[in-house]
Chains A and B, each alone.
Chain A
């Protein structure tokens, strides 16, 4: 399962941002939220962003403590706050700025889909956030589009590997 964010539908109300902070820290401190909404400047558009649950999760690969890892059962990339030493390596690794250092907790945190019951989804009136199964075919396409816009190289590499692996299997 992963959170699907629809920037066309987002109205920039920021309820998800505050809701996340309240649910996860008990305080309405937007700075500690694990979902962000960028108010897109000139065009007046909004871009909600949180962890994309990358197939090749660079954050998890790079984490020197393995606090950041993919859970076997759910396939969701999470940070184990007990193990995290706050070295910020995952922050450097993630192209989406998803992990953030929580000054109060002294560890790095990121969206972990609230143990399968993401709070932001319920708060988003316009339905810009949905929690969908990973195998939904549109999902990969969407993430690839996001990645291409952010980091074409990463996408091409991922695609190349996939294509190469398909060729090897054939």
Chain B
């Protein structure tokens, strides 16, 4: 081989991208690494934006990197540039300013963007708020300072956290929810009711369940939100939280297979050998259910990015699969959901064991498939979430002390012990 350095292009500058870059550098090669992001700023954590809205985290603390970090990682930055076309056949990426980047390997780590509400006139559509980027957060913070009535469309994790961040005495927040419960992607109905009651009680947030939005119009100072059944509400600010859509417009589906996201194998390779994908844009195997789906969370984006980066730098590492997991705290009530929890369309064939204390301040539910734990919801005390997660990921029938876990927080030592006794008894038989 002659001395040309391999050119690696990292598309995106967030969780998956940063983990990939660190992994590449950890192998000590001399690859030339270029990182492209459509945002001008250094990498920051979208997870923190709601903390910023609440005023708990100052803006500068949102950032994960400064100029020095990129210098230390020896990467060339192309910030403020959007990828518009990926020509995988020629191994070339086209940016919106006309630049062409040739690569030997490329990582798609472009994440996802909030799904936009359609069917509205341009001016109304342009006034709606979405939360994903630091720019979105600045805008919401600015508008929320003057708002008195805020309509939040949706009751997913981001919507609820945003609602919680905005609600304060004198500011009325109404959540308009299509389904019959909060957090329908993360929680079962019973647990969702506990969370809803808490949020209503502590935050004074109002919920309108089972309603869909028919139209949003301008009104004197703000917006009139018309609901399908004929109800109306006025709001001087509308925040939309209707899920996210992977950022993959630059991908040619004729070259690289896509479904809901960019399809990846267990080495995070796309259909094209030198193109990898990781994070919220990638659709890969769910470690627990085996389904091929987009699992969008920070932990997973980091893990996938790391494995993709190692492979791009010449290693041969497999990713064990994504684990859906989320932990959030709403008005002081921590809620964790791990694995398959019967939410969405994954409910088929699951049974569950529930434990809760009479005052309903803690609630724990374990989901099983053919007797094997596949998911858990913990409310109130989530201190053992990692131990439970490890137990579920490991899950072999009988190895997880299901009854203990639903009774109350479990210590890692208890799982260690039960494993030891299980393996001992297996050894005897």
Which of A40, A94, A97, A99 has the most chain B CB atoms inside 10 A of its CB? A97
Task: Say what secondary structure dominates the interface of chain B.
Answer: helix
Stretch touching chain A among B136-144, B268-276, B407-415 = B407-415
Cβ A100 vs Cβ B417 within 8 A? no
Q: How far is the CB of B72 from chain A (nearest CB, A)?
A: 11
* Interface of chain A residues 68 through 88 with chain B (CB within 8 A): 83, 85-88
Q: For B412, give its contact among A83, A90, A95, A164 (CB under 8 Å).
A: A95
Question: A97 near B45 (CB under 8 angstroms)?
Answer: no
- Residue A150, interface by CB 8 Å: yes
Once the chains bind, are B19 and A61 in contact (CB under 8 Å)?
Answer: yes
- Whether the Cβ atoms of B317 and A164 lie closer than 8 Å is yes
Contact B303 A92 (CB under 8 A): no
Q: Is the CB of A101 within 8 A of B383?
A: yes
Taking residues whose C-beta sits less than 8 angstroms from the other chain, chain A's interface range is 35 or more
Residue of B nearest to A96 (CB): B412
On whether A37 and B45 interact (CB within 8 A), knowing A93-B386, A151-B393, the answer reads no
Taking the complex as formed, is A36 at the interface, i.e. its CB lies under 8 A from any CB of chain B? yes
B64 at the interface (CB under 8 A from A): yes
Contact B315 A151 (CB under 8 A): no
Closest to A148 in B: B419
Q: Which residues of B contact A58 (CB under 8 A)?
A: 299
CB distance from B427 to the nearest CB of A (A): 13
Q: Is A141 an interface residue (CB 8 A)?
A: no
Q: Is the CB of A97 within 8 A of B302?
A: no
Residue A89 at the B interface, CB < 8 A?
yes
Interface size class of B (residues with CB under 8 A): 35 or more
Contact A152 B394 (CB under 8 A): yes
Binding site for A on B (CB under 8 A): 15, 19, 27, 45, 47-48, 51, 56-57, 61, 64, 298-299, 302-303, 306, 310, 314-318, 320, 325, 327-329, 334, 336, 338, 382-387, 389-390, 393-394, 411-417, 419-421, 423
Are A83 and B61 CB-contacts (below 8 A) given A38-B413, A40-B417, A95-B389? yes
Nearest B residue to A161 via CB reads B317
Chain A: minimal CB distance from B296 (Å): 14
- Residues from chain B with a CB closer than 8 A to the CB of A168 are 314-316
CB–CB A164/B411 < 8 A:
no
Instruction: Give chain A residues whose Cβ lies under 8 Å from the Cβ of B423.
Output: 149
Q: Which residues of A contact B411 (CB under 8 A)?
A: 36, 38, 47, 49, 97
Contacts of B384 in A (CB 8 A): 97
Q: Give chain A residues whose Cβ lies under 8 Å from the Cβ of B298.
A: 62, 64, 89
B329 A97 Cβ-Cβ under 8 A: no
Interface membership of A23, Cβ < 8 A: no
Of B317, B327, B336, B412, the residue contacting A97 (CB under 8 A) is: B412
**A40-B413 CB under 8 A given contacts A61-B306, A92-B327, A95-B387:** yes
Q: Which of B329, B386, B387, B416 has the most CB of A within 10 A?
A: B386
Q: Using A65-B48, A87-B51, A152-B394 as known contacts, list a sample of 6 further A-B pairs with CB atoms less than 8 Å apart, ordered by residue number in A.
A: A36-B412, A41-B417, A47-B412, A65-B57, A92-B389, A154-B390
Asked if A13 is an interface residue, CB under 8 A from chain B, the answer is no
Q: Could you tell me which A residues sit within 8 Å of B by CB distance?
A: 36-38, 40-43, 45-49, 58, 61-62, 64-66, 83, 85-101, 146, 149-154, 157, 160-161, 164-165, 168
Q: How far is the CB of A83 from chain B (nearest CB, A)?
A: 7
- In chain A, what residue has the closest Cβ to B411? A38
Closest to A48 in B: B413
Query: Contact: B302 with A61, CB < 8 Å?
Result: yes
Query: What is the CA–CA distance of A160 and B310 in the complex, to the nearest angstrom?
Result: 13
Chain B residues contacting A41 (CB-CB under 8 Å) are: 414, 417
| Residues from chain A with Cβ under 8 Å of B417 in the complex | 38, 40-41, 43, 45, 47
In-complex Cβ contact of B386 among A87, A97, A153 (8 A): A97
With A38-B417, A45-B417 known as contacts, the answer to whether A64 contacts B386 (CB < 8 A) is no
Q: Are A88 and B393 in contact (CB under 8 A)?
A: no
Q: How far is the CB of A16 from chain B (nearest CB, A)?
A: 13
Chain B positions within 8 Å of A93 at CB level: 299, 386, 389
A165, B390: Cα distance in complex, Å: 25
Residue of B19, B27, B334 near A88 (CB, 8 A) is B334
Q: What residues of B have a CB within 8 angstroms of the CB of A47 in the complex?
A: 411-414, 416-417
B-chain residues with CB within 8 Å of residue A62 when the two chains form the complex: 298-299, 302
CA distance A81 to B382 in the complex (A): 19
A147 to B114, CA, bound (A): 38
A92 near B299 with CB under 8 A, answer: yes
Distance to closest chain A CB from B316 (angstroms): 5
CB distance from B272 to the nearest CB of A (A): 22
A89 to B300 CA separation, bound complex (whole angstroms): 11
- What is the CA–CA distance of A146 and B214 in the complex, to the nearest angstrom? 56
Report the minimal beta-carbon distance from A38 to chain B, rounded to whole angstroms. Answer: 3
- Across-interface contacts of B320 in A (CB, < 8 A): 153, 157
Q: Is B383 within 8 A of A65, CB to CB?
A: no
B315 touches A89 (CB 8 A): no
How far does the Cβ of B421 sit from chain A's closest Cβ, in whole Å?
A: 7
14 CB < 8 A contacts A-B: A43-B417, A45-B417, A47-B411, A64-B15, A64-B47, A87-B51, A87-B328, A92-B327, A97-B384, A97-B412, A146-B416, A153-B393, A154-B390, A160-B317
